[in-house]
Structure 1
Amino acid sequence: MTSQPPSQPPQPEQPAEAVPTCYRHPGRETWVRCQRCERPICPDCMRDAAVGFQCPECVADGNRGIRQARSTFGGNVVRTPFVTYAILVINVLIFGGQYLTNEAITADLAMWPLGVAAGDQYYRLITAAFVHGGLFHILFNSWALYVIGPYLERAFGHVRYVAVYLISALGGSVLGLWLDPLNQPTVGASGAIFGLFGAVFVVGRRLNLDVRGIAVLIALNLAITFVFSSSISWTGHVGGLVTGSLLAGALAYAPKNSRTLWQVLAIAGALAVLAVLVMVRTSAILGAL
């Protein structure tokens, strides 16, 4: 008689292994893990690493120890000089508006010493740099800005560059406030452009470059300024040149180990000096009326 083997008890079912989900997107299944923290990551969270992938947080942690690239004089690296292009566009748009409004914009924005002092229209000290007196005027300033603006913007970074531009324009207007006839209106970005000329010279000297070309350009333009002084605001040109050169020098020669602090102090100091000059001059004009 053949014996039957004893029946085996039923084996319990093995639980299925849980499918991991992305730690940032719980609804997405994934079998890929971060090489540093081993958290599951979906394709949207994968960041290429030397080996495998890392999650966004580990990549950010790793980047904190990497020094970010800076421009020659401490600003962020500039790949596209969009500040220069923006100023060009603004100048062209306002120039078109001057004709469309039959010069009404010109009257509203031009630098006018008596308007600044008696009318409390301090905005004219800056807005005058965005209106122009004719086609040749805006063409020359636009060409100069297009040629030298990107070079300085890459050297200083966006913020420092726009500070040099606007403070140079302000410096030209302040000298005009002191020395121009009270009823004489002036317009144009020439003060800012001359400030950029001076800044190019200073930067060239700081980097031990050949600055003879920009020196000749400055001398030639100054000569034209004084030869045709009846139709050109020499105060705007000279004021912008001096202001831009001094401010660029402060930015370019700031001590490297505390460069940002010294540059901020230089910009704030330049604004403070010009503001005091404006206050003193407006008080003198009002006292003489």
Structure 2
Amino acid sequence: MNSFKSFLCLFCILLPITFSTDAQDLDYEPKILLVTAHPDDDALFSATVFKTTHLLNGDVDLAVMTNGEGGYTYSTIGNFIYGKQLDKEEVGREYLPGIRKKEVMAGGEIVGLRNYFFFDQVDKEYALDITIPLETWNTEWISNRLVNILKQQKYDFVFTMMPSEDTHAHHKASALFALRAVNQLDPEERPIVLSTTILRSDSDSTSYSMLEGYPLTKINREIPPFEFDRTQTFGHNDQLDYNIIANWVIAEHKSQGTMQQFMDVGNFEQYWYYALNDEEGVAKTRRFFDAVRSAPMYTNPNNLQEEE
């Protein structure tokens, strides 16, 4: 295990050295903030984040709204990994916040996350009603902190989870808080905000348009979504693809048994343009995803000479 981690660290260190920004068309180094609900939701963006940090010299930060303690329900296998009865509510709620922070940071090391902003709101239970987190979380503090982070970091993009009717209330709330924070900035300071989902194939689609009652969550369906295909191949005989990266991230979340069932499930990361954005940002977004898709993958560390 130690030798594998050493290899992984070397792999990640060498990636940005091997390719310069000449490998793509961007004239800037992109900065992105991911805003999620739980300490495993960032797996949604894995491939795009990996290519941004390792191949485009970009910076990606993560803001996580909850402490993840509600994940005790799925921690039965994790009991054997962590030596605690995590699937018992009182034990899980005590220990999972710390455990899941370590897990998300281990996954973040793989994809190259830079900073983590933990908001530590109580992950009480699964629900669909967005009013539950809006009424129980420290909403004013969350909003103020997000606004300050955005002002200080000056991101190019903010990625949220898609706040569809059938998704977890925490997912909806995390997206809404991100949108509200961006909306509080002066127009010239606002990053481009994108709503993210994962699909099995490029023929799949989402019917999402807006979360009823929350107009800030409306996406511009006249603008086609921006996509990254995780099945894009590279390496020897094209035997590797970007689902491997996503699977590595998922595998770090050993306290969450059902999380492992998402391996190889989603092949297309799809990013929709929120209506909040200025339409002038469409061209910038298109150039960014063109660069993500086209940036060549690392193949030879330091251009070592092949043996005869």
Query: TM-score scaled by structure 1?
Result: 0.26
Greater fraction of residues in strand: 2
Which protein is bigger by CA-based radius of gyration? Answer: 1
TM-score, with normalisation over the residues of structure 2?
Answer: 0.25
Higher helix content, 1 or 2: 1
